[in-house]
């Protein structure tokens, strides 16, 4: 992806069973990981899909981790490139 806005889609095999999820945006640089931001996302307890806008203005590799309280539900990776 290039720098800017994108929509993150979260889909789980089971209902979220909560009304609040946390997304942690982590930048990966060589052997270190730096948490850049944390997003609290309101969701419907009985649903298993949600979406949220995400902003990436610095090129690099990122890991997005999804949590329900302290339980890690999953993660995804994205590479952001500057094309200008």
Distance CA 37, CA 57 (A): 13
Residue 34 pLDDT > 80: yes
DSSP string computed for 12-42 = -SS---SSEEEEEEEEEETTEEEEEEEEEEE
Nearest to 25 by CA among 63, 77, 58: 63
Residue 2 pLDDT > 80: no
Residue 45 pLDDT > 80: yes
The pLDDT of residue 31: 86
pTM, two decimal places:
0.88
Provide the pairing of β-strand 71-80 with 60-68.
Answer: antiparallel
Task: Determine contact, residues 38/20, Cβ cutoff 8 Å.
Answer: no
């Amino acid at each position: 992806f290039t720098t800017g806005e994108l929509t993150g889609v979260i889909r789980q095999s089971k209902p979220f069973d909560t009304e609040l999820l946390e997304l942690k945006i982590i930048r990966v640089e060589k052997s270190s990981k730096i948490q850049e931001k944390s997003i609290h996302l309101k969701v419907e307890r009985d649903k298993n899909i949600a979406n949220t806008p995400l902003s990436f203005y610095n090129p690099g590799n990122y890991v997005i981790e999804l949590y329900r309280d302290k339980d890690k539900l999953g993660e995804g990776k994205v590479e952001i490139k500057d094309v200008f």
